[in-house]
Each structure stands twice: as C-alpha cells, then as structure tokens.
Amino acid sequence: MSAPRVPGPDPGLCGSCRNARIVETGKGSRFYLCELSRTDPAFPRYPRLPVLRCRGYRAAEER
C-alpha cells in the first residue's frame, strides 16, 4: 500500500515512504511525520520537504 497523496508542495521521498505518517492540524495544515524520529534522533520529526535523499527511506509496499 502506498502512502496517501497530500495536496501541496512535493514531499519528495516522504511521499512514498512507509515510515511517513501524515498529520493534519485543526487549521487544515498537513505535515509528514517521520516515524523513525521516535527511535532515532538523526531523523527529524517533521522533515523539511522535499526530502531528496534519505538513508531511512523504505518504499511503501505496492498492492
């Protein structure tokens, strides 16, 4: 399953990474949260987009 598409700026790798989770605020803003940030401080909680290179990238599984 691929990560859901979010309107707005190109997220780069986060847009198709299984470690990405989309967070929506009450005001309608959307962010990509990197799940690896929970266990590895080298990864920012909210990566600066677009992410062009990332050692933690893992392609979301295709169905």
The answer to whether residue 47 forms part of the interface with ligand SF4 (CB under 6 A) is: yes
Contacts (CB under 6 A) with ligand SF4, residues 8-27: 13-14, 17, 19-20
Q: How far is the CB of 26 from ligand SF4 (least distance, A)?
A: 23
Shorter beta-carbon distance to ligand SF4: residue 27 or 55: 55
Measured CA distances, 17 to 26, 27, 28 (Å): 24, 25, 22
Q: Which residues contact 41 (CB under 8 A, 6 or more apart)?
A: none
The answer to whether residue 3 forms part of the interface with ligand SF4 (CB under 6 A) is: no
